[in-house]
Amino acid sequence: MEKPLLAFGHNECIFRKFILTGKAWKGAKGELAIIPKDEGHGIMVSAVQSREFGFGLELTSSDQEIVNNFQQRQRPHYTETDAAMKLNGKTEKENISKNPFIIYFDFGYGAGKDGYWTYNHMALQFEDCIDIIQALYPQFDSLWMFDHSCGHDRG
């Protein structure tokens, strides 16, 4: 018997404080506001959406418990072991405590920054999302679509 199909799409978007500062209004006497030298602090959003669930996916505490039990029984380790070792220092999955369908990533260099979004981040986010769908909605098959971003490349 065929299962109904849930289709998911993934993409990332970067938000920077001063991204549109190349243009500015001029005052009555032609004066310009001070324009920053760089684009400023950045936040990247990596999100998964679907027609059925919309942007992201709401997870209740009981949903998290079901998913965590599923992972402990079925998939205690990440399949993408290299990515898990590089980011987490281990292949074992942690309990789901926040929703991996929407990740906010503070990118860039310096203290308090997460670095840059890479294939490794995307691969672990994807595995966590798959676990959630298979644990909570086993009556469905799923299709996952990604754009061709260089962040998805393995390097």
| Residue 22 within any structural domain of the chain | no
Identify the CA nearest to 55 among candidates 90, 17, 97, 103. Answer: 103
98 CA to centre of own chain: 11
pLDDT at residue 61 in the model: 93
Q: State the pLDDT confidence band at 82, using cuts at 50, 70 and 90.
A: very high
> How far, in Å, are 27, 43, 90 from residue 94 at the CA level?
55, 24, 10
Helix (H, G, I), strand (E, B) or coil at 145: strand
Domain extent for 86? 5-12+41-150
Residue in the block written with tokens 């289709």: 7
* Number of domains observed in the structure of the chain: 1
Amino acid present at 57: L
| Residue 113 within any structural domain of the chain | yes
List, for residues 3-42, the tens digit of each pLDDT value.
999 999 999 888 877 766 667 778 899 887 777 776 667 7
| Residue 111 within any structural domain of the chain | yes
What are 105's two structure tokens? 């990533």
| Residue 24 within any structural domain of the chain | no
Interatomic CA distance for residues 102 and 87, integer angstroms: 18
Helix (H, G, I), strand (E, B) or coil at 119: helix
Identify the CA nearest to 107 among candidates 18, 59, 42. Answer: 42
| Residue 103 within any structural domain of the chain | yes
List, for residues 86-115, the tens digit of each pLDDT value.
999 999 999 998 899 999 988 665 555 667
What are 50's two structure tokens? 């679907």
| Residue 134 within any structural domain of the chain | yes
| Residue 102 within any structural domain of the chain | yes
List, for residues 109-144, the tens digit of each pLDDT value.
555 566 778 889 999 999 999 999 999 999 999 999
pLDDT at residue 43 in the model: 84
Spatial neighbors of 91 by CB under 8 A, at least 6 apart, are: 77, 78, 81, 84, 85
| Residue 155 within any structural domain of the chain | no
Contact of 101 with 47, CB cutoff 8 Å: yes
